[in-house]
Structure 1
Amino acid sequence: MTAPVEEVAAANLAGRLHPSQRRIVLNFTFWLCLVVGGIAAVVCVVLPTATNVFEGPNRAQSIGTYPFIVVLALVCLGLCVRRYRDLHKPLTVVTGWAHDFGRSPITDAYPIGLRFEKGTTHTMQRCEVRVGGKTYNTDLETWQKIKPERNNTLCLYPKTKLVINVIPS
């Protein structure tokens, strides 16, 4: 069930994330990092305690690999914690004139800069939004909601570079 657009916009303009928007923050990347980090954490605990992998002919390889597994677990779980903490932080709301730069590089001459680069056989398409000196890569659906050459209101998380909602003004 989708929430009414007005209800979502009102929550975002108040600086809050609407419950229907949690999937934007806790997306596929979050769940993939959680699974990989969880498996790596389990391996870090189970490997030295339940097996004798550090005592045998491959002892040096096992000891050399172990720090990489620990770092992988810490990085993945750290990214998950960072994303999860964003659920409870206030949104940053930016209102300003949006300018479409076309294929040329985006500058900070306008409060909101837009750039779309069509993909070729060797590259993927890129939908870029530049706000407050930071460039956000968005999906095509979110990028198309921003109306060029007029005022728009963007609700975003600057630290994780997520555009949560676009409200044309």
Structure 2
Amino acid sequence: MRAHHLRMKYLLADFAVGEPVAFVNAFGGEGGVQALRKFWAQVGEDLPEDDRVGEDGIAIDRLRVGEDGPSMLMLSLPAPQQRNEVYFLAVIVRPQPVRVFYLEKSVLPDGRELTMIAERDARGRYNWGPGCEPDPRQFAALLASLLATPDAQPMSFFELPLR
């Protein structure tokens, strides 16, 4: 895994979970994409040049979870190349508590690629299973379906307290 991508994944998720209002203020407004690009560059400054990832692909969409559901910020990161790097980080702020999901790149033992849905909260990381094509609207629709299923259970949980 590339250190830049991995650090950003956890820094952004921890920020959203730990300080959701500040997260939305930083990235949800008109200057959100510029703020995300600046944050991306700052995180990369401390890394060896070979571990840095350019900012191509960084974007922010404001979408809804379903037709009448809460709004979400969908952060697009530079295209993943390694397993567990993320295409998107989706932050659903209301209703409380905040929910933070990733669409991650994964690779099967035989080398086939797929995506996986993961969720981050203050306790750790939940694996929700196979995802969708790396398209923000498809990911939003998949999250709407997941959240509309009251008895949905993750495949696994990994304890990972906030930093």
TM-score clears 0.5: no
Q: Give me the TM-score of the superposition, normalised by structure 1.
A: 0.26
- Structure with more of its chain in strand, by fraction: 2
Structure of larger gyration radius: 1
- Structure with more of its chain in helix, by fraction: 1
Q: Give me the TM-score of the superposition, normalised by structure 2.
A: 0.27
